[in-house]
Structure 1
Amino acid sequence: MAETVIRMENVTKVYKIGQSEVHALRGITFSVKQGEFVSIMGPSGSGKSTCMNMIGCLDRPSGGIVEINGTETAKMTEKELASLRNRTIGFVFQQYHLLPGMTVLENVMLPLRYQGIEKPERVRLAKEVLERVEMENRLSHRPSELSGGQKQRVAIARAMVTKPHIILADEPTGALDSKTGLQVLNLFREINSAGTTIVIVTHDGGIGASANRCIRIFDGNIQSDEEQIPVMPFYAMAEENA
């Protein structure tokens, strides 16, 4: 049986804004096993981004339990959380977050530097994952010289290079055209088929439907949590039928 890599139990998050309190999460409970492909869906303000921040160890809960790869995060120091993130989670963002002054190869090597890996090995591992995402011919290019789809492929390679248990993607196709977005989703499917857990946070119903399981969040509560047969995003189906 697959191990649980994410466990959220009765998780709450309250933000204080002046004299007011905003309840972003109201006691959510779910778990994700190694090798799942999960979408977390909801409109703006639903709590899905806060949920993502909990999974990514970027924020702490007000109450409840958050466990990542069997480790409870609430009592960890910032240094310990940074180490857990670097070892366990790869991040992919809508706006890529590539460093403009670095080449493609240097951007992908960066997480390995934080792990203390020597440069020759960093180069080898970075080239290996860039080949997997078909960016091996752009090693010396800078982000400004790449298309949106190429930037996202580099961002995915950077997320993969530490061989994380989980890849957490925040609206990963939001800045892409429909054809390129479909290519990125197919790349996530390939990565998932090799055993990496994928969690995509999105407001897009087509993207949510592309996962094997969809957790819907609304007003800080889980509305539904369902296994599903993944389908192509609606825009891909429209193109196919054109």
Structure 2
Amino acid sequence: MDSVVSLHDVVRTYIMGDNEVRALRGVSFDISQGEFVSIMGPSGSGKSTCMNMIGCLDRPTSGIVKINGKETAKMSEKELSVLRNQTIGFVFQQYHLISSMNVIENVMLPLKYQKVDRNSRHEKALAALESVGLAERIHHKPHELSGGQKQRVAIARAMVTQPKILLADEPTGALDTETGKQVMEMFRKINKEQNTTIIIVTHDPRIGESTERCIRILDGQIVTE
């Protein structure tokens, strides 16, 4: 199977004042289309830097990062933006919904960046919200929703462009245990039914254990798979 995500000997160094901080120290792994994977580690382990590499939000100091077969270090900011928009859906711990927009407007937003016409945007957003069980809430604003509902809207927004990769950063971190389980079930369903590659970045061993594959990272290095 072809890799949609490939990191080979990736080093990422940051200069902070007089100090050089090595966030990643030669990280290598491949993730194939349709895999359900977690990248797990404590705070400061390098997992967020890994996420930024996969999400085309950062470039390696050295080593090779390929997303959907394209080497990100060789791409312009505009090309990276297009790759992100067409290939990757993002789900964050704090939802990042726009408070002034209602639910369906939030979900339509990524399609607007893809220059999809308004009628098609509405149709696709409605289908995405139906798939997460929120079709009856389309005119609600984010503040009128529970945490679990907000995360489901965020998942619908991430999936509306039908990305190859869904990248979730601590997606259950702000939720209670039961709601967190429901969100994980939703990821599992998306993974199975749509063959979407799902990568969850987490510090929570329960989340790590509930994915098909867990890449553990510590001090910028892979410790176990």
TM-score by length of 1: 0.92
SS at match of 1:74: helix
**Aligned twin of 2:196:** 196
Is 1:8 the counterpart of 2:1? The answer is: no
Corresponding residue number in structure 1 for 2:42: 43
Cα distance between partner residues in 2 of 1:82 and 1:145: 32
Report what 2:183 is aligned to.
184
* CA–CA separation in structure 1 for the residues paired with 2:198 and 2:52: 15
What is the rounded CA distance, in whole Å, between the counterparts of 2:204 and 2:34 in structure 1?
Answer: 22
Structure 2 residue 102 is matched with structure 1 residue 100: no
- Residues 69-115 of structure 1 show CA distances to partners (whole Å, capped at 9, x for unaligned) of 00000021111111100000000000000000101000000000000
Rounded to whole Å, the distance in 2 between the matches of 1:79 and 1:98 is 24
Question: Paired residue for 1:33?
Answer: 32
Matched ranges for 1:143-154 at <5 A = 143-154=142-153
Determine the structure 1 residue equivalent to 2:74. 75
Q: Say yes or no: does 1:223 pair with 2:211.
A: no
* CA shift for structure 1 position 19: 1.1
Correspondence list, 1:162-173, <5 A? 162-173=161-172
Amino acid at match of 2:25: R
Question: Match for residue 160 of structure 2?
Answer: 161
Matching residue's letter, 1:49: S
Distance in 2, Cα, partners of 1:3 & 1:128: 29
Aligned residues: 224
* CA distance, structure 1, for counterparts of residue 173 and residue 136 of structure 2: 25
SS at match of 1:16: strand
- Give the alignment's Cα RMSD to 1 decimal: 0.5
Match of residue 66 from structure 1: 65
Q: Counterparts of 1:132 and 1:183 in 2: how far apart (Å)?
A: 14
The 3-state SS of whatever aligns with 2:116 is: coil
Distance 1:82 1:149 in 2: 29
> 2: CA distance between counterparts of 1:60 and 1:40?
18
Structure 1 unaligned blocks of 5 or more: 226-242
Deviations 1:172-196 (A, max 9, x none): 0000001100000000000000200
Query: How far off is 1:67 after superposition?
Result: 0.3
Q: Aligned with 1:50: secondary structure?
A: helix
**Displacement of 1:171:** 0.2
CA distance in structure 1 between the aligned counterparts of 2:2 and 2:154, rounded to whole angstroms:
27
SS of corresponding position for 2:74:
coil
Deviation at 1:163, TM superposition (A): 0.2
The 5 Å alignment of 1:46-57 reads 46-57=45-56
> 5 Å matches for 1:81-92?
81-92=80-91
> Identity over the aligned pairs, expressed in percent?
64
Structure 2 distance, partners of 1:111, 1:79, is: 16
Match of 2:73, SS state, is coil
User: Which residue identity is paired with 2:59?
Assistant: R
Give, in whole Å, the separation in 1 of the partners of 2:97 and 2:189. 22
User: Where in structure 1 do 4 or more consecutive aligned residues deviate above 4 Å?
Assistant: none
One-letter identity of the residue aligned with 1:66: V
Which ranges of structure 2 fall in alignment gaps of 5 or more residues? none
CA positional deviation for 1:3: 2.0
CA distance in 2, matches of 1:70, 1:77: 16
